[in-house]
Amino acid sequence: MSADKSVAENMLWGGRFKGGQDPLMVKYNESLPYDRIFWREDIAGSIAFARANKNAGILTEQEFRDIQLGFDQISQEWLTETFVVKPTDEDIHTANERRLGEIIGKETGGKLHTGRSRNEQVATDMRLWLREELRKIEGYLVDLMKCSIMRAERETEYLMPGYTHLQKAQPVKWSHWILSHTTAWSYELERLREVIKRVNRSPLGCGALAGNPFGINRNDMAKELGFDGLIMNSMNAVADRDFVLETMQWSVSLMVKISRWAEDLIVYSTLEYGFVNLADAYSTGSSLMPQKKNADSLELLRGKSGRVIGQMVGLATTLKGLPTTYNKDLQESVEPMLDNIKTVGDSLQIATGVLATLTLNGEKMHAALAPEMLATEIADYLVRKGVPFREGHHISGRVVALAEELGVPMDQLTNEQIKQVDSRLEDDVRRCFDYHRAVELKDAVGGTSKRAVLEQVRAMKELLLGITA
């Protein structure tokens, strides 16, 4: 008998096959090199399933105890990295079941899989693993938001240009900029918590596609494994990978926001702007130019967003044409899921490190403010005198044009020159050229005044930390 034929016959599914497999096909088919990460989840699911079979009368009390003790030993082998993989171990499920038979005997070990399919097993393992990883990611996102809120609260004195179209628009507080991104992240925190709820549903007890014939209690298994509820249709339970796709869709939404935040800081850290300085821990230099300090951490965050977008599109493309129910194509959901979770988790921790350690250059921020950014203040000044805003906007524009024509900053125009534009622009119009005043006037909810910013801080704390104002 050839080695390849022996391998095929010793697979869990090998009884129906007479010929051997192409060695490349064996490797092409196996998933143990990456799904071994699910060993804890696979063992927990197997013990829960064995307990359900015991309660249904399929296993005796002694057989269940033997299975449980066998899995305790297997757990130790995985923990101590002494588990020996064999050629017939296609995946983590077959590896654990094969080893269980070696420890407690094939007769008892062979009863474990009664009524169970790898189709439900892999879905269970993936959901259990993903649930815990998403909870970790939730913690990383909370940490980033805490850091952001802390800086926003402590650094309200710094003013900087606010931009639209990358053009200087109106002065804002640095804290207001921070909170603009924190607010965006808060939406992702809400969405993530919803995603976790949908991930945390149990497919265990659905068999290959048609359900379980031995009357096991699916609710008991779900409760033991910490699931919030059941997937109610057995065909859907084994075919569904929406929980992976939705996780990736959420990752895309988050990472696009992280990328935009990173892009702002990349720009603000350049010599041309100089608003912020990244810590050395999150920067690199040039192999040729000694003066360079590159924002590689932020550039990588920006680049990783493309990675997660690709993973989401790839999985959606794999899923879109699959017939009901399980197809081996679904194996292609595992590797991108693993990488997606690592990418997002690492990215959030890097982003937190960058934000926690960067320093501000308040002088550069203030120097970047330009009097022309206060043009709207003149229009608002006229509105307070009863002038329709559209007319005030036109008059303010003429003041800007006059300053450009004379080649001076707008705040260096004389009172007489300003009055030549419109007689309603009296001497007190010069108050409009005060950046701090302009910022403090934006005092409505959501504005950039100190009071409005601190109100946003309190709102974020209430959302995130449960702190009442």
Q: Which residues pair with 43 in a beta bridge?
A: none
Give the three-class secondary structure for 189: helix
By the 8 A CB rule, do 252 and 312 touch? Answer: yes
Q: How far apart are CA 107 and CA 89, in angstroms?
A: 19
State the residue for tokens 């997606």: 340
CB 339 within 8 A of CB 268: no
In this structure, what DSSP letter does residue 284 have? B
181 among known catalytic residues? no
Contact 319, 241 (CB under 8 A): yes
Which position has the token pair 């992702």? 188
Is 176 in the active site? no
Q: Tell me which of 93, 148, 283, 286 is the catalytic residue.
A: 286
Q: In 3-state terms, what secondary structure has residue 244? A: helix
Q: Indicate which residue of 2, 165, 287, 423 is catalytic.
A: 165
Orientation of helix 39-55 relative to helix 118-154, angle to 10°: 130
**Strand runs (DSSP E) across 137-180, as ranges?**
159-164, 167-173
Q: Which residues pair with 276 in a beta bridge?
A: 360
Query: CA 119 to CA 14: how far, in whole Å?
Result: 17
Catalytic residue set: 165, 286
